[in-house]
Structure 1
Amino acid sequence: MATTPTSRTSAETKARIVLVAQDVFSTKGYSHAGLREIAAKAEVAASLVIKYFGTKAKLFEEALVAAIQPAQHFQQDRTKLGEAIVAAVLDPQSRMQSPAMIALALGDAESREIVERIVREQIVDPMASWLGSEDARVRAINILAMTMGFSIFHRNMDQSLSESERWNSGQCFARSLQDLVDRA
């Protein structure tokens, strides 16, 4: 069935709103982000944001789910997970907003509930299933916690690191992650 120009425009507009929301939520946090600000940055009317998402909470949820892409890592060779995560974090071209969105949302009860549920459903449970051992859930939680810290540091605070230090940090982190994956 062919898509009409209107529905294509609607899908593109909705996708643009989600991208802008990811930027705003990952820099300002949930409690300081506003639907009007997101609408203005997406160059749409605030009423359109409400039409598509209903509430800020629903927009945040959709933006967070879209920002989390762990399934691609669980389709790969198990021996390469550490390297794959480090490459994604250190690639300046990759949109890596979920760690900041998660961290900045924890101070608000509504967004914290969303984060806890989405992280469990989209990251921890699939990763634990992929790891497949008795302690898989604990290992998945540790991989997530370590990746959050590594991501936040390297995406926001590593300006003083040389390329060599950055590379060595990535190698050390990749080995640590891989150790958690390989512990079966």
Structure 2
Amino acid sequence: MYISRPAKPQTSTRQRDAERTRAALLSAARTLFSTRGFANTGVRDVAELAGVNSSLVGRYFGSKQGLFRATLEQVINISPALLGDRRRFGADMVAALLDAQDAPGPLAMMILSAADPEAHAASVEILQLQVIAPLAKWLGPPDGEGRAARLNILWTGFLTNWKLLPIQPLAKAHHSSTRRWMEAATQAIVDEGET
């Protein structure tokens, strides 16, 4: 007598493959959008780098714009940084900026894609939703949103002059005086609300 065994569920294997494919597409998109920009990156380029069929971009993200948005949403998120000790925020944030291997990645993506109206709008919206708004709420009154904007200006200015348009004095970003200045400037903005 032959007893058939129940088939193993394929959903978990398919789910893992889908997650791997999605992750590969996001990783490839991050690399290309941060080095070529939105206009000079094609769906086929992303799929080729990810090692998958280009039709999967549409399946997972709807369009190149959807892929750009999903990539930015993945790489821009300040919330984890807001979980630490408020008194050490300046030191912790500067350490995160200086120690990140791809520190300009998200910034490069936004700058290189600014010429495309849809990519620009997505960049501004995601920056507001995932950095400025949570940071402003965490900072609180007075002027949480203004202080969040000033912190963003400080950090993006530093990253731009360190990685994207490097100026000689920042060639050694781990230089102790630059690090101390960034920590103090960041912490001063955080502490403006403390009296």
Asked if TM exceeds 0.5, the reply is yes
> More relative contact order in 1 or in 2 (CA 8 Å, sep 6+)?
1
Aligned to 2:115, which of 102, 107, 110?
A: 107
Q: Is the counterpart of residue 88 in structure 1 residue 86 in structure 2?
A: no
* Percentage identity across paired residues of the two chains: 31
> Could you tell me how far apart the structure 1 residues matched to 2:127 and 2:174 are?
30
Q: Indicate yes or no: 2:172 matched with 1:177.
A: no
Number of the residue aligned with 2:59: 51
| Structure holding more helix per residue | 1
Q: Gaps (5+ residues) in structure 1? A: none
Residues 140-172 of structure 1: CA distance to partner in whole angstroms, max 9, x if unpaired? 011111111212333342677564863321221
The answer as to whether partners of 1:39 and 1:49 remain within 8 angstroms in 2 is yes
Aligned mates of 1:30, 1:166 — CA distance in 2: 33
Q: Is this contact kept in 2: 1:26–1:97, CA < 8 A?
A: yes
Query: CA-atom RMSD, angstroms?
Result: 2.2
Aligned residue identity for 1:147: W
Q: Does 1:10 align with 2:18?
A: yes
Deviates more, 1:46-55 or 1:80-89: 80-89
Matching of residue 141 in structure 1 with residue 149 in structure 2:
yes
**Counterparts of 2:168 and 2:20 in 1: how far apart (Å)?**
34
Higher Rg of the two aligned structures: 2
Once the two structures are superposed, what CA deviation does each residue of 1:48-103 show, in whole Å capped at 9, x if it has no partner? 11111111111001000100131011111111222122112211546652111122
Task: Note the 1:122-137 alignment, pairs <5 A.
Answer: 122-137=130-145
1:35-74 to 2 correspondences below 5 Å = 35-74=43-82
Superposition TM-score, scaled by structure 2 size: 0.85
Aligned length: 184
- Structure 1's consecutive aligned runs of 4 or more residues displaced over 4 angstroms after TM superposition are 158-165
Q: Which runs of 5+ in 2 are unaligned?
A: 1-9
For residues 95 and 10 of structure 1, the distance between their equivalents in structure 2, rounded to whole angstroms, comes to 28
Contact 2:98-2:174 within 8 A present in 1 as well:
no
TM-score when normalising by structure 1:
0.90
